[in-house]
Amino acid sequence: MSYRGPLFENRFVKSLPADEISQNYGRQVHGAIYSRVSPTHVSAPSTLILSDELANQIGFSQEFRHSQDFAEVFSGNKLLPGMDPYASRYGGHQFGHWAGQLGDGRAINLGEVALKEGGSLALQLKGAGATPYSRGADGRAVLRSSVREFLCSEAMHYLGVPTTRALSLVLTGDTVIRDMFYDGNSQEEPGAIVCRVASSFTRFGHFQLCAVKGENELLERLLDYTIEVDFPHLHAHELNGTYSRQDIYLLWFDEVCRKTADMVIEWMRVGFVHGVMNTDNMSVLGLTIDYGPYGWLDNYDLNWTPNATDAEMRRYRFGQQPLIAQWNLWQLANSLLLIVDDAASLEKILVDFTGYYEQQWREMLGRKLGLRSFDSGTDEILIARLNRVLQLHETDMTIFFRTLAMFDPYLPEARFTDVVMSAFYQPEEIPSEVLTEINAWGDLYAERLRRDDMATEQRRLFMNAVNPKYVLRNYLAQQAIDHAHLGDYAMLRELYVLLQAPYAEQPESVRFAEKRPEWARHKAGCSMLSCSS
């Protein structure tokens, strides 16, 4: 293979200790952050879809990205110069319970690419075969979950939500056996591999496992590396003597807390539910990571979760995501206690998370409502009543906030519900008393807008920049998957183009902005999903 492109560097593997055992078999790994492992060969790789924007940023030429060599590399069949593949070791709390060693069970990291504009990006194959952390599984991924991962990570990027990204989706030419509903009905499904991209894939669980195993020196070494590479501004403070190392650790944790809060705020803004907020699925960079049984709200329901495994407890439901984020940060703080001397400061940072989140949440809602700024004197009541109004009748969250921009507070004869009626499911069934209450909120909102006195067209532009027209609705993703299973990838590619401009009107694609159809209310993949992938 003749290759001219970016070279890979491997700071992670050069800076941190490797597993001493080189054989690839499932085991408990001690005293190491990663295990070197090669991807497993696939029979007939072909590139289904890729991100040209990301490929340009990395430095891959047009010739290479559209070659068979690209498919061979990003299926794991070949390596580019400098690649040094490995799977990393971490643990985590799953559904609130410590799960022990987890690790990259089907993710294989290829290395990092230095960017011309500074920084670097790490590339990781998901579904490239078994690793020492696979826990008896095959390390593969199926097409349906890979389509969802590729589309969602890219959709979130263009929505402005902090996220890992997807460079490519490659078909393997092989089938994978999966029991989608864990009911004993295993089936063959087409296999696929996504190349995930992020500046770092370091998770809360990396630190947790070191702490649980009592590997204090390794924990400190990992934290020092993370600060130096992923938080260089903090590392600079230590180098110039501005802060002590202990102070830097506290500053780092405070920044992780704020990045996590900012990420969840963005989830809430667009109506996204992660579905599996285990600590091993939490990035220290505040990036959305591990797209499994996620979903977007159709109707505004604080108790909704897309995860069938979580259907009874609803631990990871939409309205609880900020509380779970804070709980996860507590677990990270507990791990840091082995090397941080100041437990009181760690606790204060965690307590401050609540105030920071609430402030950012109010400001976010103010933007969604088209307000110049949040006025605690009046807007607390406005938002509290809005939260009630959105739950009085089944209301599509995305459509409601998008159509809200069309409301004119200077037309007193217009009823508020006439403007937002398209957001309601079964609008003909709305009781009159509910309509009255919704319109009463509209009157309150109109008065607030008049007091704000922003020009109507300016406000619409302002609101349309934060309230998307298009999100990756669950039923749309499932339709694309159903077509893909039949060898028809047109809808997948069409959705990908659409989701790159989620705030634009795109009148030729307006059918993708419609409410969830009734047939999708309880259909598998359109309402709730399993963790099977």
Phi–psi pair at 88, nearest 5 degrees: -95, 155
CA–CA distance, 427 with 346 (Å, rounded to integer): 49
Angle between helices 204-212 and 216-230 (to 10 degrees): 160
C-alpha–C-alpha distance, residues 240 and 254, integer Å: 20
Report d(CA 203, CA 224) in Å as an integer.
15
Return the active site residues.
280
> Quick one: which of 332, 292, 342, 352 has its CA closest to 316?
292
C-alpha 6, offset from chain centre: 27
Residue 223 half-sphere exposure, CB side, CA atoms within 13 Å?
29
Cα gap 29→101, rounded to integer Å: 8
Question: What φ, ψ does residue 166 adopt, rounded to 5°?
Answer: -125, 120
Residue corresponding to tokens 């068979």: 68
Choose among 210, 203, 202: nearest CA to 338: 210
Residue 491 CA to residue 380 CA, distance in Å, equals: 42
Token representation of residue 403: 């159509």
- Coil, strand or helix at 249: helix
Beta carbons within 8 Å of 264's beta carbon, 6+ residues apart: 321, 322, 325, 357
The span from the first CA to the last CA of the chain, in angstroms, equals: 32
